[in-house]
Amino acid sequence: MAAINPSQCHSVSSTCPFLGLKVNSRAQQVSLVRKTIGVVKCVATLEQTAYKTNVSRNENLGKLQAGYLFPEIARRRAAHMLKHPDAQIISLGIGDTTEPIPDVIASAMAKRAHALSTLEGYSGYGAEQGEKSVRSAIASTFYSNLDIEDDDIFVSDGAKSDVSRLQVLFGSNVTMAVQDPSYPAYVDSSVILGQTGQYQKDVQKYENIVYMKCTPENGFFPDLSSVPRADIIFFCSPNNPTGSTASRDQLTKLVQFAKKNGSIIVYDSAYAMYISDESPKSIFEIPGAKEVAIEVSSFSKYAGFTGVRLGWTVIPKSLLYSDGFPVAKDFNRIVCTCFNGASNIAQSGGLACLSPEGLEAMLETVGYYKENTSIIMETFRSLDFKVYGGTNAPYVWVHFPGRSSWEVFAEILEKTHVVTTPGSGFGPAGEGFVRVSAFGHRENVIEACRRFKNLFN
């Protein structure tokens, strides 16, 4: 037998003309590999040891369960597309707008963008809190007669970003309460900041978070008499995902509950423009709210700004910590430290949104999605499903009793090629529900509903 010449084998993988042997040069091991008649192959494999730093991972990130809900849905959609490359996928899952930005708004941004190419129109860093004209327009449009001043408003790159900045503001030594079900960013950001204990798989909850159960049985408003005290209460109305809207009486009880416990409410009003009844559009419509509440909102679902990114947070001067220090001053420090201000182009769009023509255009866009909602609700009701939400929100909350949300999601995707959102992704009380988004082109919504009827009839 001829001797092996190592130079005839590559450093990682190669064929050897002499023997059917596998050579590991680092471990100095030789093992037998496949041998064929007339051809003998030898593969030399060099094991690689990854370099590791001495920096420990943030243990709080290790507590997070699976992936964030919406990227996980995107991953499953991508896998489905690989399996069914010719299928026409319709997405009624993630709440991403689909209709073009109204021209009056897009034109304002285009004009500002072009001005940046001139000496006269160029501008660099702006105020971290937002341009004064935009703050003033937000105050006069959404908070007229509510005693909210321009400098109570912080313009940002979206409500989701502000939720995380607020968590940085609160720090790790607070307790938090959330509606169950609710937008997952509230819980996940709380976990990352170290406010929680471990995830308890048996109940699908994190330790040290107060889950305020919101179900059809309690009208999607928690029984506050049984809710333990928490420092921070995240509350969204109209709610994502259930589409429910808190009444004036309910929000009054929430403010009184916060005052009694010395808590701070973070009120998410990102869907307020969808309200068509007498429900409050702002927490600051409730007497005493300025002493216990912060409000976050966004242009995303009004003007199609999901990609443009523009929102705001309102922190009244009368909101104080236990030592009397104004919360707004600390948030201003957070903003100035972590943020360079919203895009000046996006802010020009925001200003155009709040012009008379812009407001009219946004209401038309909102109306379009609300018509989609009606079509979806009528479809599921015709199939004898119990359906919630929809009236004041772009989401329909459909009940599939006795079934797993992810199971229903998978069945709908496999048999209709329509993407929805499993309710359990929003919290344990969402199990057995599926959220159907009204964000979609009309023809796609109609086609999706036709497929629903074929599946569930």
In one letter, which amino acid is 79? A
What distance separates the 2 farthest-apart alpha carbons in the chain?
A: 96
Question: 450 in a domain, yes or no?
Answer: yes
Return mean pLDDT, the chain.
92
In a domain, 38, yes or no: no
Write out the residue range of the structural domain in which residue 324 sits: 103-354
Task: Please check the confidence at residue 21 and state whether its pLDDT lies above 90.
Answer: no
In a domain, 33, yes or no: no
Q: What is the CATH number of the domain that holds 109?
A: 3.40.640.10
Are 349 and 445 members of one domain? no
Residues 344, 395, single domain; the answer is no
Give the per-residue pLDDT at 47. Answer: 66
95's tokens: 């709440």
Q: Concatenate the DSSP letters of all residues of 155-214 into one string.
A: EES-HHHHHHHHHHHH-SS--EEEEES--HHHHHHHHHTT-S--EETTTTEETTEEEEE-
Is residue 198 domain-resident?
Answer: yes
Single residue among 354, 374, 394 that ends a domain in this structure? 354
Query: Which tokens go with 297?
Result: 């909102």
Last residue of a domain, one of 294, 324, 354: 354
Task: Specify whether 216 is located in the same domain as 281.
Answer: yes
Is residue 43 in a domain?
Answer: no
Confidence of residue 43 (pLDDT cuts 50, 70, 90): low
Average pLDDT over residues 55-82: 89
CATH of the domain at 409: 3.90.1150.10
pLDDT of residue 46: 59
In this structure, the answer to whether residues 394 and 341 fall within a common structural domain is no
The answer on 426 and 313 residing in a single domain is: no
DSSP string, 256-321: HHHHHHT-EEEEE-TTGGG--SSS-SSGGGSTTGGGTEEEEEESHHHHTTTTT--EEEE--TT-B-
Q: How far apart are CA 263 and CA 431, in angstroms?
A: 29
pLDDT of residue 69: 85
Number of domains making up the chain:
2
Residue 280 lies in a domain: yes
Residue 205 has pLDDT above 60, yes or no: yes
199 and 311 together in one domain: yes
Cα 151 to Cα 136: distance, rounded to the nearest angstrom: 8
Task: Give the span between the Cα atoms of 243 and 171, in whole angstroms.
Answer: 30
9 is a domain residue: no
Q: Residue 240 pLDDT > 80, yes or no?
A: yes
pLDDT at 44: 55
Cis peptide before 422 (omega within 30 of 0): no
Q: What is the mean pLDDT of residues 15-34?
A: 44
Task: Tell me the C-alpha distance between 400 and 455, whole Å.
Answer: 14
Looking at the DSSP bridge assignments, the partners of residue 200 are: 205
Same domain? 320 vs 369: no
Q: Return contacts of 25-31, CB within 8 angstroms, 24+ apart.
A: none
Specify whether 436 is located in the same domain as 409: yes
Helix (H, G, I), strand (E, B) or coil at 153: strand
Q: Are residues 174 and 318 in the same domain?
A: yes
369-416 pLDDT per residue, tens: 999 999 999 999 999 999 999 999 999 999 999 999 999 999 999 999
| pLDDT surpasses 70 at 45 | no
| 289, 162: one domain | yes
Give the pLDDT mean for 349-374: 98
Cβ–Cβ < 8 Å for 417, 87: yes
Q: How far is CA 230 from CA 9, 199, 394, in A?
A: 66, 18, 30
How sure is the predictor about 31, in pLDDT bands with cuts at 50, 70 and 90? very low
Residue 227 sits in the same domain as residue 338: yes
Picking from 351, 287, 290, the residue whose alpha carbon sits closest to that of residue 148 is 290
Residues 118-155 pLDDT 10s? 999 999 999 999 999 999 999 999 999 999 999 999 99
Q: Are residues 76 and 149 in the same domain?
A: no
| Nearest CA-CA partner of 262 in 211, 322, 314 | 322
**Cβ-Cβ contacts under 8 Å for 145 (sequence gap 6 or more):** none
Q: Is residue 269 part of a domain?
A: yes
Which of these three, 330, 354, 378, is where a domain ends? 354
